[in-house]
A and B are shown apart, each in its own frame.
Chain A
Amino acid sequence: MPTVGIIANPASGKDIRRLVAHATVFDNLEKVNIVRRVLLGLEAVGVTRLLFMPDYFGIIQRALEGLTGDYSLKMDVECLKMPLTGEQEDSLVAARLLAEEKVGCIVTLGGDGTNRVVAKGCRQVPLVPISTGTNNVFPSMVEGTIAGMAAGLVATGKVAPEVALTRNKKIDIYVNGSWEDMALVDVVVLKEQFVGSRAIWHERKIKQVVATCGEATNLGITSMIGALHPLPPADPRGMAVKVGTGRTKVLSALGPGLIKSVSIAEYRFLDPGERVVVETIPCVMAVDGEREVEVGSRDRVELVLNCDGPLVVNIKATMDAAARRGVFRCTQGHGSS
């Protein structure tokens, strides 16, 4: 039974960047609309079972309530049985449960932060990340309908994994020798006292960056990486940057409408497995765009580039392959007349 999971984070898109930058507001009702389109896309390509993470707002339930008449779904829909905390822990638990259920694909609605948490629990299940956050590099700004169809094509096996999937990189964070956390996109070392409101907007506080990728078209800290040297996700290398007094200055889009000149002391490419020691202690580390880890004055932190990150569905490659195979050609009694 081709099964897809959905994890929709109701909390993304409301942070302080609406004050300190010019970030868009992404309300939960819009997420409900996106989920409706995802569900219709899934069903159109033959997905027959859906499992979803519950949330306090009831994004999926509301999406389902709106699908009536011609839009009624035939697929079986089940809510994961799990306790709700309203914290990011929910996404981790849901990802683990979906992996145990061996779903063919997980569609996520959220930002880099949501996907990081899902990636920690999803094992080898591929992700279709739809961006609903602010400074997103990992998830795409993709139409829900198309994202749903691509997820369904992978879950139903209509497009082979070797064509549809790409393996992403990650950064493992070790504190005092023990694995503490991971990042999909970047770890930023900040001369900050607290996690506080989580976002990063003061470039003067950035001391070090380790990133898996970065392109000039990115928004966020990886725009700095892209401005130094474009590093696409497919490149196996990462990059380590020290921010400070230096001859190189790069214009970086740190947030929506927040473009700053950042002075670079040095930068270098990283090979898989290479370690970078955090030099500013104590500090706060931002992980995938959000201040997350508070480092104490006696801690030692190392960041390691790892090429064994989550599998992600390449939506364009998947849809193109399906078209070439004639998957979208309607036969008699199926699809439009």
Chain B
Amino acid sequence: MALSQEKLLELYRKMVTIRVFEENTAELFAKGEIPGFVHLYVGEEATAVGVIAHLKDHDYIASTHRGHGHLIARGGDVKQMYAELFGRKTGYCKGKGGSMHIADLSLGFLGANGIVGAGLPLIAGAAFACKYRGDDGVAVCFFGDGASNRGTFHEALNMASIWKLPAIFVCENNMYAISLSQELHQNIDDVADRAAAYGLPGISVDGNDLFAVYEAAEEAVKRARNGDGPTLIESKTYRWRGHFEGDPVVYRTEEELQAWKKKDPIERAKKRMMETGVLTEEEDKAIWEEVRSEIQEGIEFAKNSPLPEEESLLEDVYCE
């Protein structure tokens, strides 16, 4: 792994953008400005950024209900994202989908998903398409530890394995399936162990270390593009906020949260980038200021955008 200064700064900036986007979303939701539900990605930024850094334009991603970070890492437009959260006509789904249905097919982003584990068969299908077309495309599915108990997980891994599909299954193991801790919902410590049952490699990485995730994904994507088949990457991480905004989070301790905050993926990347002369304190401040300004523009854009018209209610329900 040799990352140029430019690439490192790009990855870092994306993590910062996700953090600022999500923190602002939390604030706006608490004020009642965002309808529906939001599930935030704060604390898990390194996984989305470290994996998606390796994707080409014609690759695919299936996201989850906690999908804002994946789309930002893929280069999604924060204005359209906020507009969607605010239910505005200028949003990704014309304001009718909300957080859990944001999709951008132009980016190969097959969508966030309100159903746990639903992205897995989608990505097996997308990976099949890549292989069928022979265009060296790969398909990445993000999902959580809870989703790894769903039938879709087992079916998708099995099919991807027998057909040697160019798929990368990225389990964001944040230790909780909604409010249920991993030790209460599965009898294994590492979701990566499940790969062996389907005849594909499974590895666990420190999901709060951008560079560990980056390296693991680099090798998995290389395998997929070379025709060597799928990989399961378990990225061990932690969500700082509740399962959803408004979650009273009675199922974990403050002590546990603080311990994970000490492993902040952004701070860890920043520290090493400074040690190696890639980033200075001044440059870091400038990045945060620029990102905050970009996010404010996105919020203003959303607030100033119109609501969808009543007569558009039934538009885009079916293919036309």
Which residues of chain A from 256 to 296 have any CB-CB distance to chain B below 8 Å in the complex? 282, 294, 296
| Inter-chain contact A294/B275, CB cutoff 8 Å | yes
Chain B, interface size category, equals 20 to 34
| Inter-chain contact B275/A28, CB cutoff 8 Å | no
Residues of A within 8 A of B106 (CB): none
- B277 at the A/B interface (Cβ < 8 Å)? yes
- A335 at the A/B interface (Cβ < 8 Å)? no
Q: Residue B189 contacts which of A57, A193, A194 (CB distance < 8 angstroms)?
A: A57
Q: Residue A28 contacts which of B189, B215, B276 (CB distance < 8 angstroms)?
A: B189
Give the size of the chain A interface in residues (CB under 8 angstroms): 26
CB distance from B82 to the nearest CB of A (A): 33
- A11 at the A/B interface (Cβ < 8 Å)? yes
- B2 at the A/B interface (Cβ < 8 Å)? yes
- A85 at the A/B interface (Cβ < 8 Å)? yes
Q: Knowing A16-B216, A297-B277, say if A193 contacts B1 (CB, 8 Å).
A: yes
Number of A-B contacts (CB under 8 A): 84
| Inter-chain contact B272/A294, CB cutoff 8 Å | yes
Q: B-facing mask of A102-127, CB < 8 A → 1, else 0? A: 00000000000000000000000000
Which residues of chain B from 1 to 44 have any CB-CB distance to chain A below 8 Å in the complex? 1-3
| Inter-chain contact B211/A14, CB cutoff 8 Å | no
Q: Knowing A19-B220, A196-B212, A196-B214, say if A28 contacts B205 (CB, 8 Å).
A: no
- A80 at the A/B interface (Cβ < 8 Å)? no
Complex CA–CA separation, A29 to B209 (angstroms): 27
CB distance from B240 to the nearest CB of A (A): 17
Q: Residue B205 contacts which of A16, A57, A193, A294 (CB distance < 8 angstroms)?
A: A16
Complex CA–CA separation, A296 to B203 (angstroms): 29
Residues of B within 8 A of A10 (CB): 189-190
Complex CA–CA separation, A11 to B223 (angstroms): 24
Residue of A nearest to B214 (CB): A196
Interface of chain A: mostly helix, strand, loop or mixed: loop
CB distance from A23 to the nearest CB of B (A): 9
| Inter-chain contact A16/B203, CB cutoff 8 Å | yes
Residues of B within 8 A of A18 (CB): 201-203
| Inter-chain contact A197/B272, CB cutoff 8 Å | no
| Inter-chain contact B212/A195, CB cutoff 8 Å | yes
- B219 at the A/B interface (Cβ < 8 Å)? yes
Complex CA–CA separation, A196 to B207 (angstroms): 10
Complex CA–CA separation, A193 to B275 (angstroms): 10
Q: Residue A197 contacts which of B183, B205, B277 (CB distance < 8 angstroms)?
A: B205
- A15 at the A/B interface (Cβ < 8 Å)? yes
CB distance from A32 to the nearest CB of B (A): 11
Residues of A within 8 A of B202 (CB): 14, 18, 25
Residue of A56, A193, A196 contacting most chain B CB atoms (<10 Å): A196
| Inter-chain contact A192/B204, CB cutoff 8 Å | no
| Inter-chain contact A194/B216, CB cutoff 8 Å | no
Residues of B within 8 A of A192 (CB): 1
- B174 at the A/B interface (Cβ < 8 Å)? no
13 contacts between A and B (CB under 8 A): A14-B192, A15-B205, A16-B205, A18-B203, A19-B216, A19-B231, A25-B201, A193-B2, A195-B209, A197-B211, A198-B212, A282-B275, A296-B275
Known: A193-B3, A196-B209, A296-B276. 6 other contacts (CB 8 A): A14-B203, A19-B216, A27-B188, A27-B193, A282-B276, A294-B275
B binding-site residues for A, Cβ under 8 Å: 1-3, 183, 188-190, 192-193, 195-196, 201-205, 209, 211-212, 214-216, 219-220, 223, 231, 234, 259, 272, 275-277
